[in-house]
Amino acid sequence: MTDLNNNTAKGAVVPPPPSAADIAAANASIPDVPFEPKNFLAKFRLDGKVAVVTGGARGLGFSMAEGLCSVGLKGIAILDVQTDLGLDAIKKLHGAYGVQAQFYKVDVRDETAVNDIMDSIARDLGAIDIVVNSAGVADLVHAEEYPSEKFRRVIDINLNGSFLVTQAAAKHMIAQGRGGTIIFIASMSGSIVNWPQPQSAYNASKAAVKHLMKSLAAEWAVHRIRCNSISPGYMDTALNRSYTTLFNEWKDRTPLGRLGDPDELTGACIWLASESSAFCTGSDIVIDGGYTVL
């Protein structure tokens, strides 16, 4: 049997390795072409852009709004139902980053109000370039006891509200003619069934959000509107800490041994909002500490 690892099999001639002189001569023959370094971080900048963040008055939404402001936004619109928190949010963002910040009180389920507010944002801030759909709610209710009106509310805010906001913003992006980027905040709950807590409406809504994102990414690519989503795992928020028993169980089931910090979603949000992700659309980024790999 021929030894395939034997280079001398069947009389093959093995050339000697190149000498130091041969290597030096080869290197000397390479033309001296100037090599200009690239500033890859510059592509993460959002200078001159205007962003809209729903549910941006606190929590994950505010963290992502702050991240976008930190890389040069010209303007940001915070949409929320809580006026005091919303006004406080824009005060902080303007004071810390010098960005033009506006608050608009709105229920994302209200189609007329959403459309009117998008018109106001385009007028007040000059454009709409980025949308982050962060507004959302969840219930912990056993399915056999779930009141239909509560189930509909979760779907209406998480799914329908995201669509109404996105649709209204996309009309301005299409009219502006320079594209845009839309980021949906989905959840690992759109891919797995969380256990042991009962949250069928939330899980269903987030699975739908992910597929809505993919549908819009395909449909609006012709307009250079990119649509992507971020799917967080269990995050270390005040709300999650209030579920003491579940909090510890979530932590134990996460391979990294902890819940995520809200700011640990911000890098992905900046990347998706910026030109550094210019060839990325229709993608879902899971940030869950490894929870869904088990």
202 is catalytic: yes
Catalytic option among 104, 202, 234, 291? 202
Catalytic option among 63, 206, 214, 234? 206
Give residue for tokens 């009219």. 175
CA distance 181 to 227: 6
The residue among 232, 233, 241, 246 whose CA lies nearest residue 196 is 246
Report the chain's mean pLDDT, rounded to a whole number.
94
Torsion, CA 204, CA 210, CA 216, CA 222, rounded to 10: -170
For 50-86, the pLDDT digits (tens) are 999 999 999 999 999 999 999 999 999 999 999 999 9
CA distance 210 to 191: 9
Residue 211: how many CA atoms within 13 Å on its side-chain side?
8
Catalytic option among 134, 187, 189, 274? 187
Whether the per-residue pLDDT at 32 is higher than 90: the answer is no
Quote the pLDDT of residue 5.
53
Which DSSP symbol is given to 43?
G
Instruction: Give the sheet arrangement for strand 180-185, strand by strand.
Output: 100-105, 75-80, 50-54, 130-133, 180-185, 225-232, 284-287
Exposed/middle/buried for residue 245 (C-beta within 10 Å: 0-12, 13-18, 19+): exposed
Paired strand residues for 231: 286
**One-letter amino acid of 150:** K
**One-letter amino acid of 241:** R
Q: Is 29 helix (H, G, I), strand (E, B) or coil?
A: coil
What does the domain layout of the chain look like in residue ranges? 43-235+262-289
242 is catalytic: no
CA distance 247 to 140: 14
Task: Read off the pTM.
Answer: 0.89
Give the pLDDT band (50/70/90) at residue 35. confident
Class of domain 43-235+262-289: alpha beta
For 190-211, the pLDDT digits (tens) are 999 988 999 999 999 999 999 9
CA distance 118 to 126: 11
